[in-house]
Amino acid sequence: MRTRGIRSSVLAVLAAVGVALCLTASAQQELVLFKGDRPADAGLILSGWGSGDIRETGEAVYIGSTSLQVVTQGFYQGGRIAFQQPVSLRNFAMDPNAYLVFQVRLPGGTGNWYTTGYGRGYGMPGVPGMPSIGAPDIGGLAGPRGAGRVGGAITGAGRAGGRAGGVAGPPSGPIMGGPAPGMGGMPGAPTTGTGRRTGGMLGGFPGMPGYGPYQGGYTAPTMTTRVMRQMRVVVVTADGKQYEAVAPFDPPLTDQEGWFPIGVALGAFKGLSPEAQIREIRVFGDAYGVFYVGEIRVATDATPITGDAGEEQIVAANDLVRLEARASAGITPLRYSWDFDASDGIQEDAVGRVVTTRYRKPGEYTVTLTVTDIYGMKKPFVATTKVTVNE
C-alpha cells in the first residue's frame, strides 16, 4: 500500500511538472509589445524619425482602443517606438521560428495602392491673362498661392485633400484691337510640402484657353500610384546596439481594407543576442506611404510551407498563360520562383505569386513552382503543374 502511495505521489508531482512546463511553453509562444492601449498608459514614447512621423490614432483599431499611424517617406524616414522599460527577448532570440509580428492596415479602401499628395502644399501664382484683340479690356491677374492644408487622399484614404494652387487670371488681356478672345490664366502648381498627413494632389495642369466671359484652367484629377513594397524594421537594444531587417509589404489581394500581419524573423536581425532587451523599434517603408500598426508582438510559428502551382491548362501556341501560386506558411513571408519548362533543367524563369508566359511550340510542359521562406528558416516547398500547348 505504501509503494502504491509513493507511486501516486510521484505521478502527481510529474503531472504538476508537466502542467508547469506546458504553461511555460505556452507563455513563450507570444510576447505582446503593443496591444491597442494608449501609448502613454503602455509605457511607450512615440516620435518621428527623419521627416517621418508616428502618432496615436483612433481612425483604425485592430485591438484595444487605439493604433499607431505611421507616415514614411522612405527607408530612413518613419516612426520610432521607445519602451520606458526594455523588453527581454530571452525566450525567443534563439528560436528559428520566432518572429516580430506587426498587424498592419493601409488607409481604408486603398488596398495596396495609395492616392498621392502630402498635406500643407502651396500653389504657384496664376499666370496673367494673355493680351486679347478687341474692345478695351483689363488683362488677367496673377492668382494667389494656394494655402494647402493638412489632409488625406481625396478618395478617402486620409482626411482631406490639400487645396488647389493659384487661381486663374481673368479671361482676357489689354487692348490690342480686334474681336478675338484672350487666353485665361493658369492654375497653380500641385500641392507640395511637409504636412503631417496625406493630402490629395490638386492643380498642376495648364489652364485651358478662356473664351469670352469664361476663365481658363481646370483642376487636375487625383493621381493614384503604387507605393510601399517593403518595410524596414530597426531594433535597438538596451546596450545601444542596432539590428535591422526588411520584410515585404504585401497586403492580401482578397481583403484590401483589412488588417494583415507582417512577420520579421528574429533570425533576420543578424547578431541579436539571446539576452537582448528591446529598447526601441523603428519602422519605415521603402517609399512614401501611410499605414496603421494595430498590434506588435513576438510570436513563434513553425507552420510548414504548403500550397500548389495551380490547375493544369490547355492553350494554343503563343497564347498568354497565367500562372498563379497558392501557398501559405503562417506569418512567414514567402518568395515564389517559377520554371516554365522542366525539360531543360529547373531554373528561375520568373518571380512572383502571379506570373505570365507564352509557349511558342506545341507540346506538354511541366511548370515547377518553388516557394521559399525569404529568411531561409523553413524548408522550401516545391509543386508542379502542366501546360499543354496545341498548334
Print pLDDT tens along the chain (391 aa).
444 454 455 444 444 444 343 333 333 478 999 999 999 999 999 999 999 999 999 988 999 999 999 999 999 999 999 999 999 998 898 899 999 999 999 886 444 433 333 333 333 444 444 444 443 444 444 344 333 333 333 333 333 333 333 333 444 344 333 333 333 334 333 333 333 333 333 333 333 333 333 333 333 333 334 468 899 999 999 999 999 999 998 776 555 558 999 999 999 999 999 899 999 999 999 999 999 999 999 999 999 999 999 999 999 999 999 999 999 999 999 999 999 999 999 999 999 999 999 999 999 999 999 999 999 999 999 999 999 999 8
Instruction: Point out the domain boundary residue: 300, 324, 359.
Output: 300
Sign of the torsion formed by the C-alpha atoms of 35, 41, 47 and 53: positive
**Quick check: is 236 in a domain?**
yes
Domain total in the chain: 2
Give the integer Cα–Cα distance in Å for 345 and 22. Answer: 47
With a CB cutoff of 8 Å and minimum separation 6, the contacts of 16 are none
Instruction: Point out the domain boundary residue: 300, 322, 342.
Output: 300
Give the integer Cα–Cα distance in Å for 133 and 183. Answer: 11
Residue 10: count of CB within 10 angstroms of its CB? 10
Q: Are residues 313 and 280 in the same domain?
A: no
CATH of the domain at 95: 2.60.120.260
Three cell numbers written together for 270: 543578424
- Boundaries of domain holding 284: 19-115+227-300
**Quick check: is 183 in a domain?**
no
Q: Of 198, 42, 179, nearest to 118 (Cα)? A: 198
First to last CA, the chain: 86
Give the integer Cα–Cα distance in Å for 160 and 222. Answer: 12
* C-alpha torsion 333→336→337→338, nearest 10: 170
Q: Of 253, 261, 284, nearest to 352 (Cα)? A: 253
**Quick check: is 197 in a domain?**
no
Give the integer Cα–Cα distance in Å for 316 and 313. Answer: 10
Give the integer Cα–Cα distance in Å for 70 and 84. Answer: 20
**Quick check: is 259 in a domain?**
yes
